[in-house]
Amino acid sequence: MDVQNRYGQGLVDGIPIGLAYLAVSFAFGIAGMSKGIPVWAVVIISATCLTSAGQFAGIISIASGGSIVELVLSQMVINLRYTIMSIAVGQKLTQDTPVWHRFIMAFGVTDEAFAVSCGRKGEIGSRYFYGIMTVMWSAWTLGTFLGATASGILPEAVMNALGLAIYGMLIALVIPPAKHNPHIVLVVFVAVVCSLVFRYVEVFSFISSGFSIIICTLIAATLGALIFPIKEEADE
């Protein structure tokens, strides 16, 4: 079986991810500053986390005065998918990959790193994945710093436009699979309806934005799993 374990190849394969991360993290830097979070804190958040949706939800919770419990729960729900992705990446690794390498690599498991590494034919080694991680982490942290510092220079109209980048990224993640699977459309619709209910129905006004994200996610995901269960493929 072929094994890809060259650090340089990981760097090359990570370049497209890095370019995309620069744009999104730039928007995160602007969003963090708009919430009153200082530059150093926004940069540390990006340097220690690689989860775009989780980070945006986190700064919303922080800005609204949410509790630590709310922040932790929202991150657990939003980032739960990385557990499955980490297992898949772990199965792609060579058997002689040390456990401590696997723990370090788990930090860099994102949607894009998962797609690139698992899309490789054969097994991969730690050096290859570290190459991908290097580009991703550098681009994500640098983009956040640039966005946070540029927020004091750019005109307000430009900042507002760049602030919409995260929504464009999320829409881009949902639309392609939704075109081929109407079940995803229904799940997204349920999540949107639940979000609107928590936002505009007065009786739910006591629920913070962080907990509303958690509840909407759980409701939509649970209904999707119950109504549209994924059938296991029969063994060949």
CB 195 within 8 A of CB 217: no
Closest CA to 64 of 170, 219, 201, 207: 207
pLDDT 10s digits, 42-58: 999 999 988 887 888 88
Helices 209-227 and 182-200: crossing angle, nearest 10°?
150
Higher pLDDT, 235 or 25: 25
Which of 192, 228, 187 lies closest to 213 in space, CA to CA? 192
Q: How many CB atoms lie within 10 A of CB 25?
A: 29
pLDDT, tens digit, 9 for 90 and up, residues 141-171:
999 999 899 877 777 777 666 666 666 666 7
| DSSP-derived 3-state class of residue 25 | helix
Strands (DSSP E) contained in 41-166 are 123-124
Whether pTM > 0.75 for this model: the answer is no
Instruction: List, for residues 2-34, the tens digit of each pLDDT value.
Output: 788 899 999 999 998 898 888 888 888 888 888
Between 204 and 140, the higher pLDDT residue: 140
Tell me which amino acid residue 102 is: R
Q: What is the chain's mean pLDDT, rounded?
A: 83
> What are the structural domain ranges in the chain?
3-162, 181-227
